[in-house]
Structures are given as structure tokens and as C-alpha cells.
């Protein structure tokens, strides 16, 4: 079982809906990530939070809004999505090497939230 | 050109075969390198880190050539349970601005047949 928990596992929403994806880890990791994965494609980085601050936004459309309420939680708020946003959304966490302030490279992924936008 | 390139395969091999996957990366600021494994409809999981000196974990051997910007994974004595997608991952330095980011290759699909 993964130590990163994502909810919901499946979500179907209309283009006018507002929903949120949630992610939780209790490994003490200070870097958390959102990735998007389409079928037969690799995970694509969306956002990185380090020490609860947004450090990387890969030019993601504003209809995706991340939030990191504390060091264990990461949310992704969804609003006015398009059908092409349907994908598996993966949350991950990693340790940060405090001296170098870089991630260790070992990502722990949740099982993902499979999103369908109608 | 993609930052991390892999042959997507699929590689179809019989049980017991030895199979090798290759990966190239284009950004010389890349700091560290990994192979991840992803089973169908599951999340990716770290298989092993990759070092210039090479590293071995049981039937799996990984190698990094920084001069050629090339990473390899060798699987010996393939098992049915090795069937999965193998993702080459490069950790790109963020300098002082961030903790860096992991860039995934397209993945190479391995199917081991009885």
C-alpha cells in the first residue's frame, strides 16, 4: 500500500462544476507534487510545493488551482475544466536534502485520482 | 526534442531472457537519475537510482554515462512479473530557486512471455 493517500479515486464532473482532489502523506516529506498522466504517456509535472510554498508551476491553466494547507496535505482545486483535462492525476512527495535544498529524487506516488470531464 | 528520450517498445521477450533499455537526456544540468517502474493502471514506483559507477540490485543493473548523457537498465533472467513500463527519470537542478524537478521519459514497455 502506498503511503501517499489520494481522494477521490475516481471523479466525474461537468465543465461547470467545481471539485477538489486531495492528497495526504505522513512521511515528513517537505516536497509535494501534482502530476497529470494521460493513457500511454508519462507523468507530466504540474506543480511542486516545497516547504509548503509553491516553487514550480509548469504553466498550468488557471482552471487548476493548487493549495498546500500544511506539510502533510496537498489539494488541487478544479473549476471549469475541459474534456481534454480528463486524465489520471497523481500526487507525490519526496524528502528534501536540507543542506542542498534539492529533492532526493525518490518520489512516493499516491494511487491517483482518475478524472473524467464530461 | 524531448528532454528525456526512450524507445517506447514494446519489448516482447521470453522468460529467462536478458533485456536492455536505453535512455538519453539532453539537459546537462541534470543532477541525478533513476529508473521507475509502472504497472498497468498503477502509480509509478522507484526501481533504482543510477550512478556513474553502475549499480546492481539482484537481476537489475543500471548504468550512467554522463559524457554521452546516456542511461541504461539491464534485466537478467526475465520473469513474468517484470512485465511493466520502465520510466527513465532525470532530476533537473533548480539552482537556488527551487528544489528541482523530475522529468519522466516516455517509458519503455516490457512484456515477458512464458
* Residue among A31, A42, A112 whose CB faces B104 most closely: A42
Band of the pLDDT at A102, cuts 50, 70, 90?
Answer: low
Residues of A with CB under 8 A from a CB of B: 2, 31, 41-45, 48, 50, 55-56, 90, 96, 101-103, 105-107, 109-112
Residue B96 has pLDDT above 70, yes or no: no
Could you list the beta-strand ranges (E) of chain B: 4-6, 11-14, 19-25, 30-38, 45-50, 55-57, 60-65, 70-75, 84-92, 101-104, 108-113
* Residue A83 phi, psi (nearest 5): -55, -30
CB contact under 8 A, B102 and A50: no
How do residues A56-95 score in pLDDT, each as one tens digit?
899 999 999 999 999 999 999 999 999 999 999 999 999 8
Higher per-residue pLDDT: A1 or B1: B1
Between A116 and A99, where is the model more confident?
A116
Residue B32 CA to residue B62 CA, distance in Å, equals: 13
In this structure, of A16-20, A23-27, A101-105, the range with the lowest mean pLDDT score is: A101-105
Amino acid at each position: 500500500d502506498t503511503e501517499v493517500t489520494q481522494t477521490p479515486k475516481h471523479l466525474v464532473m461537468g465543465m461547470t462544476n467545481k471539485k477538489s482532489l486531495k492528497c495526504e502523506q505522513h512521511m515528513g516529506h517537505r516536497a509535494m507534487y501534482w502530476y497529470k498522466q494521460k493513457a500511454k504517456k508519462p507523468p507530466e509535472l504540474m506543480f511542486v510545493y516545497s516547504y509548503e510554498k509553491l516553487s514550480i508551476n509548469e504553466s498550468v491553466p488557471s482552471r487548476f488551482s493548487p493549495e498546500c494547507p500544511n506539510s502533510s496535505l496537498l489539494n488541487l482545486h478544479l473549476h471549469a475544466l475541459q474534456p481534454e483535462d480528463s486524465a489520471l492525476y497523481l500526487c507525490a512527495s519526496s524528502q528534501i536534502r536540507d543542506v542542498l535544498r534539492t529533492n532526493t529524487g525518490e518520489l512516493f506516488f499516491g494511487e491517483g485520482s482518475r478524472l473524467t470531464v464530461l | 526534442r524531448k528532454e528525456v528520450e526512450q524507445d517506447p517498445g514494446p519489448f516482447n521477450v521470453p522468460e529467462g531472457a536478458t533485456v536492455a533499455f536505453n535512455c538519453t537526456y539532453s539537459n546537462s544540468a541534470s543532477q541525478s537519475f533513476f529508473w521507475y517502474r509502472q504497472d498497468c493502471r498503477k502509480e509509478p514506483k522507484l526501481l533504482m537510482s543510477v550512478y556513474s559507477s553502475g549499480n546492481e540490485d539482484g537481476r537489475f543493473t543500471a548504468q550512467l554515462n554522463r559524457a554521452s548523457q546516456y542511461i541504461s537498465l539491464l534485466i537478467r533472467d526475465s520473469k513474468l512479473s517484470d512485465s511493466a513500463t520502465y520510466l527513465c527519470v532525470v532530476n533537473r537542478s533548480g539552482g537556488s530557486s527551487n528544489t528541482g524537478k523530475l522529468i519522466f521519459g516516455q517509458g519503455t514497455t516490457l512484456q515477458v512471455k512464458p
